[in-house]
Amino acid sequence: MVFNSYTFVVFFAIVLFLHYLPLAWRTKKINLLLASYLFYALWNPPFILLLWLSTVVDYQMARLIWQEQRPARRKMLLTVSLVLNLGMLSYFKYGGFLLENFTAILSAMGVTFQAARPDIILPVGISFYTFVTLSYTLDVYRKKFAPEPSFLNFALFVTYFPHLVAGPIVRPEDLIPQFKTPRQATARQIYQGLFLLSLGLFMKVTVADGLLADTADLIFGLPFPVRTLDAWIGVLAFSGQIFCDFAGYSTCAIGASLCLGITLPDNFRYPYAAVGFSDFWRRWHITLSTWLRDYLYIPLGGNRKGRPRTYVNLMLTMLLGGLWHGASWTFVVWGALHGLFLCIERLIRDGLDRTRRRRTAAHQEGALSEGTVISRAALGPALSLRGRSGQFLLALLTLFLVNITWVFFRATTFKGAGLLLLSMFGVIPNGAPMLTTTAILTVGLVTVGIIVCHWRMRNSSLERLMERLPWWALGMVWAILLISLVLAQKSTSSFIYFQF
């Protein structure tokens, strides 16, 4: 079931009706749990067994880890949990990829090996709920908190339908405490939740699918080079599409949950207004980036083991983050580019910090040496970018580089990515025009609209904006969203991140 379907409208109405009946809180939680399993089962019922297995294994392993005092036994129990969870994820998501690369390696060594391609169906949301359950087991192992005694609360934490398929990737502290006491939304939460649900559907149905998807699919699907303008418009179309699609899902999830009186963490904070790649990952898919930081980057040593090790840890984290998105080397390259840009940004920032420290030390000594004066002159252009206009230019540079990385994220082959990049920079002769003037203007206007919106809202939030707007203005915006949904509704398409 997808949010952008009439089936979900009926499903959600029934869930709300049952949730606000005068029933015991335990009964309401059971209703939510059963509804979550139904929500997932409508894709492929047998995969509920995998979801159930992951839930049971991590619930029991966390209890055993907490009770065990011997370090070696605790590590063994944690290993069992990791092997079972990551083993399922590796088989279903990376089985074909690993076999394909194994065959290629043997072929390069002169060994002929032809294996039948495994017919593996990727369970929807397996990457998301695997990370959810792993965070729980790892936190119990670290003694961050005691295991949850109620299996009902834990099972609902894992399977809660708004976040189940494509996030946000919740932590135990995000949801389990909310399940311990009865939750009922206030009137304000209900209208905010319904507005967010409408906004998320508008982003997905009207903008991502209705205005951008066809252009992106056309340009990325061509097996030959295109003119430079068409190449850039195709990439910008995908850039807007993936944001509106994924952020639209997260907005729907947060809104639907808020209607039930349960809050989910933010997953996007206007990422196309990011100044630098560190800022980008504080704004894009926030729950994944913080997960990778807390459970991969920091355990690897973070920035505590010297500058070279910091760069290695950044690259490893982003490489694995890229591979998390899909079983393809193009995703690995996408992650590698983000890791490279993060390393370059840190290198520049470290250099500027050292220069500032030298200037400060020189001032404290009461004399500026000639070298310090030169350093100040060299630092001048960077310091001039501190203003709002300078920050905007850096944000545009960041967005430019982000769009370069999106080529590898969207392209299915390196050949396709290479042709598109060459076309974008005019390295190869321009082909025939492929896009109409209407398509170019549409993507251009949507792109400018997204950038302006993100820049104006980069230090604010939707909740604050909704509080500031008068009721009639909010009502007009809401009406426009709903009318556009009715006009733009076509065949239902899944959200992009369902494939991850």
Residue appearing with tokens 């899909």: 326
Please identify which of the residues 19, 163, 325, 454 carries the catalytic annotation: 325
130 close to 54: Cβ distance less than 8 angstroms? yes
338 is catalytic: no
pTM of the model: 0.88
Per DSSP, the three-state class of 176 is helix
Residue 99 tokens, joined = 């076999």
* 8 Å CB contact between 123 and 50: yes
In this structure, are residues 183 and 260 in contact, taking their beta carbons and an 8 Å threshold? yes
Give 54's DSSP letter. H
What local confidence, expressed as pLDDT, does residue 127 receive? 85
* Residue 358 vs residues 347, 350, 352, 489: alpha-carbon distances, Å: 17, 12, 10, 60
Q: Which tokens is 134 given?
A: 């792993």
Go through the chain and tell me how many residues it has.
500
| Span 250-289, pLDDT tens digits | 999 999 999 999 999 999 999 999 999 999 999 999 999 9
Chain-centre distance for alpha carbon 414: 23
Separation between Cα atoms, residue 203 and residue 247, nearest integer Å: 8
pLDDT tens for each residue of 143-196? 998 999 999 999 999 999 999 888 799 999 999 999 999 988 888 899 899 999
Inter-residue contact 164 to 42 (CB < 8 Å): no
> Contact at 8 Å (CB) between 500 and 127?
yes
Cα separation, 359 vs 437, in Å, equals 53
Kindly list the distances between the CA atom of residue 332 and the CA atoms of 290, 315, 325, 408, in Å, as whole numbers in the listed order. Answer: 19, 11, 9, 9
Quickly tell me which residue has 């020189």 as its tokens. 362
SS3 500: coil
**Cα–Cα distance, 434 to 229 (Å, whole number):** 10
**Position 201: which residue type?**
L
Alpha-carbon dihedral 88, 94, 96, 98, rounded to 10 degrees: -110
Mean pLDDT per 10-residue section of the chain, whose length is 500 residues: 82 93 94 93 84 91 91 91 87 77 76 69 82 92 92 94 87 92 90 92 91 93 90 96 92 94 93 93 94 92 86 93 88 94 90 76 57 39 60 91 95 92 84 88 95 90 84 88 80 63
Q: Vertex 411, ends 231 and 279: CA angle to 5°? A: 85
Chain segment 86-130, per-residue pLDDT in tens:
888 888 887 777 777 777 787 778 777 676 666 677 778 888 889
- CA–chain centroid gap for 208, Å, is 16
Q: How far is CA 319 from CA 9, 306, 335, in A?
A: 38, 20, 5
Q: DSSP character for 491?
A: S
Cis peptide preceding 118, ω within 30 of 0: no
Residue 493, pLDDT score? 67
pLDDT at position 475 is 87
